[in-house]
Amino acid sequence: MFKIKRRPTPPGTMLREMYLKPRRVSVARFAAAVGCSRKHMSEIVNGRVRLKPDMAARIARVLGTSVRLWINLQANVDAFDAERAARKWKPSATYRAQAA
Find the angle CA(57)-CA(60)-CA(66) to the nearest 5 degrees: 95
Does residue 96 lie in a domain region?
no
Contacts of residue 78, Cβ cutoff 8 Å, sequence gap at least 6: 50
Does residue 27 lie in a domain region?
yes
Does residue 58 lie in a domain region?
yes
Does residue 1 lie in a domain region?
no
Does residue 6 lie in a domain region?
no
Does residue 87 lie in a domain region?
no
DSSP 94: -
What is the model's pLDDT at position 77? 97
Could you tell me the CA-to-CA distances from 52 to 10, 56, 72, 73, 88 in Å, in that order?
12, 6, 11, 11, 26
User: What tens-digit pLDDT sequence spans the chain (100 residues)?
Assistant: 567 689 999 999 999 999 999 999 999 999 999 999 999 999 999 999 999 999 999 999 999 999 999 999 999 999 999 999 998 888 888 888 887 6
Does residue 17 lie in a domain region?
yes
Name which of 11, 16, 29, 10 is nearest 70 in CA terms: 11
Tell me the Ramachandran region of residue 47: left when phi exceeds 0, alpha when psi lies from -120 to 50, beta otherwise: left
CATH number (domain holding residue 59): 1.10.260.40
Q: How many domains does the chain have?
A: 1
State which residues form the domain around 19.
11-81
Does residue 98 lie in a domain region?
no
